[in-house]
Each structure stands twice: as structure tokens, then as C-alpha cells.
Amino acid sequence: MTHQLIIGNRLYFSWSLAAWLMVDRFGLSDYVKTTVLYPATEDGVGALMTDYAPARTLPTMITSDGAILSDSMAIGEELASLYPNAGLWPAAPLARGTARALANEMHSSFRGLRAEWPVNLHRSYAPVQPSESIAAELDRLEAIWAHARAVTGQDTPWLCGDYSIADAIFAPMAIRLANYGFDTRPATKAYVAAHLADPALRRWRAMGLAANQTSKVFEYQGPTRPWPGPTPLAAEPVDTGTAENAACPYSGDPVTHLAEIGQRIFGFCNAFCRDKTVADPAAWPAFMTLYRR
């Protein structure tokens, strides 16, 4: 039973990130095949999606039964129904109700932040002074995050106990706060840092960096600063050398592309597998199993 998730450019498309996390973060990647579209502008999405009508926005999931879900929360809810044991929502009613309320508020609100501070996975910016309306939205964001933690009372980095749809849908917001330097108050800083360190989010970013489809259209104009997440292991593609491994850690196919990682040579079955690993080796469990051997 395979579903198809259609997403946008991983460097910029925030709702696509949320939906993809609802798949990858809950171990559902074997059931959902991902297709990436690269519209030249946000207005250009619909023109690329005529095969998926009536969907015209990203993300869209087409289920194995043919249901067309062109909305990130609908995708999350359907995945939660299809895979009830995957833990997309918390099991306990108090945590689940709180997670649902927060996720839906994220989905229906925070329009100022969404419009003024575009998400960017390949660069961050010198801290930006929030406008009055954005400052009010930031206060609201911090209030509901604090509320969720207080009522569910669990000692995890996430909002309602274990990572849930509520965290997946706030991941782009956490990146925004990091992008524009608003991750300063202690609880917010810790939550943003947890997202930036999360291996699933790091895999998404690594694939965006590997695809390298940068576009000025989606960029905020302002002075940049280094990426605020964990520094990846040093790695680079190389043309010559002998790989330690004969088979690609992902596909098991013969090695054709090489990278030097931690002063050792590893091989992969295509350029994308190599480049996504080079972008952040520690994000990839199959590679790290090989690396630690």
C-alpha cells in the first residue's frame, strides 16, 4: 500500500516540510513515496499540478485509494487514521486534545509571521526587529507552547510529551525563529534547538542542500549569518579513492559516487545519495551504521 506525497523545494516550502515530517518522523517512509516539484514562484504551483487536480497547492498526498489531500493537516489526520500505531497524536486525551488545538491554531493563524518571515533551510539572517503585529504573534506562539508544556507536564523537548503532529506542524515556525534570530527566550530557544537537532529535520535540510535549487524569489533580503543548527561532520564529495563499502548504505546497489567523511572514503549509488550524506552525515542512520562499524 503506497501513497504519494507531493512536496515543494525543501529549501523553502514550509507546509511541505510539516507534511513530510508527519511521514518520516513517524517511520512511515516505506508507505509514502515522495515527489518533489520546483515551481519558479509560489503562484506557479498550480500550473505544475494539473495531473493532481483538483489539488493546486503543496503539499498534496494521493492515497493508495485515490483520495487527494491537498492540505497538511488533512494529510496528518489521514496518516493518523491509516497508521494508528505510529503515534502521530499523543495517546492520552489531555495531551491529544492539547496537541490538536495547537496544531490547528498553527494551521489557521500566524499569518503575519508566515508572510513576513519566509522559511529558509540553507541560510539564516542577522536578527530582525519584529513589527508590532509579528511581536504579538510571537507572544501568542510562546504562550501556547508554554501552556501545552504546563498542562501535559511531560519532560521531553516537545510540546505534548512525545513528538506529535503538533511538533511537525510547528517545525517550520521553529526554523523561522532561528532564521530571524527570535529564538532568545529560554523555553523557546530550547524548543527551536530541539527541532534544529532533530535527525528527521536534518535529513530534510540535507536533501534540500543536495538538490541545491536555490532561488532569489523565495529568499528574504537581509544580511545573512551561519546556520544556527548543529555543525555537521566534515565531509566532501571526491572523484578518486577506494570506498570502504562496496554497496550503497541506502539501496544496497554497487557504489558509483564517492565522498570523504571523517578522513575515510565511502561510496554511494548515485550523486543525490552521496550529496545528501555529505550535507549532514549524522542525520542518516543507514550511513552512520556503516561509519561506526
Ligand X SMILES: N[C@@H](CCC(=O)N[C@@H](CS)C(=O)NCC(=O)O)C(=O)O
Q: How far apart are CA 207 and CA 203, in angstroms?
A: 6
Nearer to ligand X, 76 or 267 (CB): 76
Nearer to ligand X, 43 or 155 (CB): 43
> Binder to ligand X among 59, 90, 208, 281 (CB under 6 A)?
59
Which range of residues in 69-77, 84-92, 215-223, 268-276 is near ligand X by CB under 6 A?
A: 69-77
Which range of residues in 65-73, 120-128, 210-218, 249-257 is near ligand X by CB under 6 A?
A: 65-73
Give CA angle at 239 (235, 242), nearest 5°: 85
> Binder to ligand X among 42, 105, 219, 260 (CB under 6 A)?
42
Task: Give the shortest CB-60-to-ligand X separation in angstroms.
Answer: 8
* Cβ atoms 113, 176 nearer than 8 A: yes
Nearer to ligand X, 184 or 215 (CB): 215
Verify binding: residue 172, ligand X, rule CB under 6 A: no
* Half-sphere exposure at residue 169, Cβ-oriented, CA atoms within 13 angstroms: 28
> Binder to ligand X among 21, 45, 207, 278 (CB under 6 A)?
45
Verify binding: residue 46, ligand X, rule CB under 6 A: yes
Task: Give the shortest CB-1-to-ligand X separation in angstroms.
Answer: 23
Which range of residues in 21-29, 66-74, 81-89, 226-234 is near ligand X by CB under 6 A?
A: 66-74
Nearer to ligand X, 73 or 95 (CB): 73
Which range of residues in 43-51, 174-182, 234-242, 256-264 is near ligand X by CB under 6 A?
A: 43-51
Verify binding: residue 109, ligand X, rule CB under 6 A: no
The x, y and z cell numbers of residue 65, run together, are 485509494
Which range of residues in 54-62, 121-129, 180-188, 230-238 is near ligand X by CB under 6 A?
A: 54-62
136: CB partners within 8 A, 6+ apart: none
| Footprint on residues 9-38 left by ligand X (CB under 6 A) | 13-15
Size of the site for ligand X (CB under 6 A): 16
The contact set with ligand X (CB under 6 A) reads 8, 13-15, 42-43, 45-46, 56-59, 71-73, 107
